[in-house]
């Protein structure tokens, strides 16, 4: 049975090795497995934190170029920009009107910011929190429900988003006797959570990322900054929990990983381990880097591909919204 799989990425910065390992690599592999894949750039989501329009346009183009350069095939997938699908925003408001505030009060991102405000002694626990952040789970639900997507690949830390989408779909179906598909969570067991150069999860929010398409010299310099322990070169080292080894595994064959693990057990200097990582990443990404640079230099190619993808996506979303309008009496 063919599944309709949907996943999106927010253009709030340049794609990094963590994005590649956790989302892009498994998503591109999935396009050859027979599922109907919808992949999109969620530019409306970026409005919550990114308020510079020029940066949003630039990051959106770079994110599209990244996916295409790494092997996304627009003939096998539906690849589009969120803002090109007006049905998403219309459904977003319809869903907002039936979503309980209490459900959103329990959203992890909102609760975390409230807790941070309270711990810092803020008089207002909602200080600095905009409605975009608070309503973020509803827009995410609209992204999913607008296409009746039944399978949503996520990391374990994102399960709640899908549970909220299921709750919202269920409430709509109960109130309006609707038939919105309640999506299933697909845990990316084979995807890796990659640590950044400071040992925390690689994230643009922490400023600890290694961008995918840095020029060679900058890539090597960034990799050499990865924080490691102070064991001497001759001391055996653990691969488990090692950022350098985890990144190496993302790009290596099984034989290459086994060989480096043996060097860890025998004793390897961190400089040598990082050099091995740099050489592998640079060699692997070199062909994609050329494609990426070409797409960035010719944004009209990106626009054409995204517009074609949006046309395909709207053929799914438009009939669904027609049905939803009939259900709600509009």
The predicted-structure confidence for 59-75, as pLDDT tens digits, reads as follows 999 999 999 999 999 99
Q: Which pLDDT score, from 0 to 100, does residue 250 have?
A: 87
Q: Which pLDDT score, from 0 to 100, does residue 192 have?
A: 61
pLDDT of 120-177, one tens digit each? 999 999 999 999 999 999 999 999 999 999 999 987 778 999 999 999 999 999 999 9
CA distances from 238 to 40, 47, 261, 282, 315 (A): 38, 41, 8, 24, 51
Q: Which pLDDT score, from 0 to 100, does residue 185 have?
A: 86
Q: Which pLDDT score, from 0 to 100, does residue 119 have?
A: 96
Q: Which pLDDT score, from 0 to 100, does residue 21 have?
A: 85
Q: Which pLDDT score, from 0 to 100, does residue 266 have?
A: 94
Confidence class of residue 191 from pLDDT cuts 50, 70 and 90? Answer: low
What average pLDDT does the segment 172-184 reach? Answer: 95
Which two structure tokens, joined as six digits, stand for 148?
Answer: 């009746």
Confidence class of residue 190 from pLDDT cuts 50, 70 and 90? Answer: low
**Listed residue (52, 55, 64, 51) closest to 9, CA to CA:** 64
CA distances from 270 to 223, 245, 279, 325 (A): 11, 11, 14, 60
Whether residue 3 is predicted with pLDDT greater than 70 in this model: the reply is yes
Confidence class of residue 18 from pLDDT cuts 50, 70 and 90? Answer: confident
What average pLDDT does the segment 37-48 reach? Answer: 97
What average pLDDT does the segment 82-99 reach? Answer: 98
What average pLDDT does the segment 234-245 reach? Answer: 93
Tell me which of 39-48, 240-249, 262-271 is least confident. Answer: 240-249
- Structure-model confidence comparison of residues 1 and 83, the more confident one: 83
pLDDT, the chain, mean: 94
Q: Which pLDDT score, from 0 to 100, does residue 207 have?
A: 86
324-176-152 Cα angle (round to 5): 60
pTM for the whole thing?
Answer: 0.91
Q: From the CB of residue 200, how many other CB atoms can be counted at a distance below 10 Å?
A: 13
Question: Domains of the chain by range and CATH?
Answer: 4-194+299-328 (3.40.50.620), 216-293 (1.10.240.10)
CA distances from 94 to 97, 209, 242 (A): 5, 37, 46
DSSP helix/strand/coil, 291: helix
């Amino acid at each position: 049975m063919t599944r309709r799989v949907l996943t999106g990425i927010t253009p709030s910065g340049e794609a990094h090795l963590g994005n590649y390992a956790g989302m892009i690599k498994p998503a591109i592999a999935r396009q050859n497995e027979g599922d109907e894949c919808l992949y999109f750039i969620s530019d409306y989501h970026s409005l919550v934190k990114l308020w510079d329009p020029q940066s949003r346009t630039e990051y959106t183009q770079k994110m599209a170029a990244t996916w295409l350069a790494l092997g996304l095939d627009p003939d096998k997938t539906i690849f589009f920009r969120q803002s090109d699908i007006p049905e998403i925003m219309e459904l977003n408001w319809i869903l907002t009107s039936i979503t309980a505030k209490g459900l959103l009060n329990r959203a992890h991102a909102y609760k975390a910011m409230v807790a941070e405000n309270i711990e810092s002694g803020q008089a207002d626990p909602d200080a600095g929190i905009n409605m975009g952040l608070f309503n973020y789970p509803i827009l995410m639900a609209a992204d999913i429900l607008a296409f009746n997507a039944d399978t949503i690949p996520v990391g374990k830390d994102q399960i709640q988003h899908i549970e909220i989408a299921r709750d919202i779909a269920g409430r709509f179906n109960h109130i309006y006797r609707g038939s919105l598909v309640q999506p299933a969570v697909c845990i990316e067991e084979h995807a890796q959570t990659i640590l950044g150069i400071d040992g925390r999860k690689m994230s643009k929010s922490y400023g600890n990322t290694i961008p995918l398409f840095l020029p060679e010299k900058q890539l090597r310099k960034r990799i050499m900054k990865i924080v490691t322990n102070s064991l001497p070169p001759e001391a055996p080292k653990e691969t488990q929990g090692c950022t350098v080894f985890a990144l190496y595994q993302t790009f290596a064959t099984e034989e290459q990983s086994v060989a480096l693990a043996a060097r860890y057990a025998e004793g390897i200097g961190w400089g040598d381990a990082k050099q091995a990582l740099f050489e592998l990443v640079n060699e692997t990404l070199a062909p994609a880097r050329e494609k990426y640079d070409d797409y960035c230099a010719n944004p009209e190619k990106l626009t054409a591909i995204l517009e074609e993808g949006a046309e395909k996506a709207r053929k799914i979303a438009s009939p669904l919204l027609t049905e939803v309008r009939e259900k709600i009496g509009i």
